[in-house]
């Protein structure tokens, strides 16, 4: 697994950044403004469909392998317009909460998809009690200018012992942001046990890949 993570990069950092304009943005303020425009006239959802954004489908497919109980209480961290929630609902999971830092994205979430929908910056402490959720899914959030590795500490805190945290990490920021070191540290300390770790298609038509990881929380 370690060798797989250290395999030659599919493309250079600059090549990845040039795939999508949003990858060039560095601050949360810039990204929020970008989403405000991108969500107009449902353009974000249309683009995700046109680009074959497979990350929600891929991640939920892996999640199901380890979570057969559809009564699992799931936190969709960085839910965007609800694409992961829709995939979960298709597969019979209905106890879902979602959160995102972009109000314009939250407004696009289908009604009644989540039991609770929060506006949260995942780079800050999450105001939930320890062990609130049975499982957490975080797709498309560990990417350029978005959420950084310390968020994994908070996700681990609010996830129950033995629960799964499933997430994607854009290959372009895996080492640059320190996700490689953070995951290795959490593995070494016995906090997370990796069950799946592989390169996913992510946004296939744009040639953008991500690491797809499923871990089990150990407390």
- List of domains in the chain: 2-217 (3.40.50.150)
Tens of pLDDT along the chain (219 residues) come to 554 544 444 444 556 566 788 999 988 899 999 999 999 999 999 999 999 999 999 999 999 999 999 999 999 999 999 999 999 999 999 999 999 999 999 999 999 999 999 999 999 999 999 999 999 999 999 999 999 999 999 999 999 999 999 999 999 999 999 999 999 999 999 999 999 999 999 998 998 999 999 999 998
Residue 118 half-sphere exposure toward CB, CA atoms < 13 A: 15
| Residue of 29, 19, 27, 36 whose CA lies nearest to 203 | 19
> Cβ(140)–Cβ(192) under 8 Å?
no
Strands 96-100, 116-119: pairing is parallel
Where are any strands of DSSP class E within the chain?
74-77, 96-100, 116-119, 133-142, 159-170, 192-203, 208-217
Please, which residues have CB within 8 angstroms of residue 88's CB and are 6 or more apart in sequence? 60, 63, 74, 76, 96, 137
**Length of the chain measured in residues:** 219
> Cβ(117)–Cβ(109) under 8 Å?
yes
Alpha-helical regions (H) of 92-212:
103-106, 151-158, 179-188
């Amino acid at each position: 697994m370690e060798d797989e993570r250290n395999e030659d990069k599919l493309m250079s950092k600059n090549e990845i950044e040039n795939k999508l304009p949003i990858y060039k943005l560095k601050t949360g303020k810039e990204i929020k403004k970008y989403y405000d425009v991108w969500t107009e006239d449902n353009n974000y959802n249309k683009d995700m469909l046109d680009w074959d954004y497979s990350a929600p489908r891929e991640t939920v497919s892996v999640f199901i392998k380890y979570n057969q109980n559809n009564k699992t209480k799931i936190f969709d961290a960085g839910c965007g317009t609800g694409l992961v929630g829709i995939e979960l609902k298709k597969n019979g999971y209905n106890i879902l909460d979602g959160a995102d830092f972009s109000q314009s994205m939250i407004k696009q979430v289908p009604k009644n998809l989540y039991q609770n929908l929060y506006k949260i910056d995942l780079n800050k402490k999450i105001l939930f009690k320890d062990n609130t959720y049975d499982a957490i899914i975080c797709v498309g959030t560990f990417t350029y200018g978005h959420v950084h590795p310390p968020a994994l500490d908070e996700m681990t805190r609010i996830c129950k012992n033995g629960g799964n945290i499933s997430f994607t990490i854009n290959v372009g920021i895996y080492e640059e942001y320190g996700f490689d070191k953070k995951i290795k540290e959490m593995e070494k300390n016995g906090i997370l046990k990796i069950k799946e770790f592989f390169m996913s298609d992510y946004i296939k038509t744009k040639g953008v890949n991500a690491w797809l990881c499923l871990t089990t929380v150990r407390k």
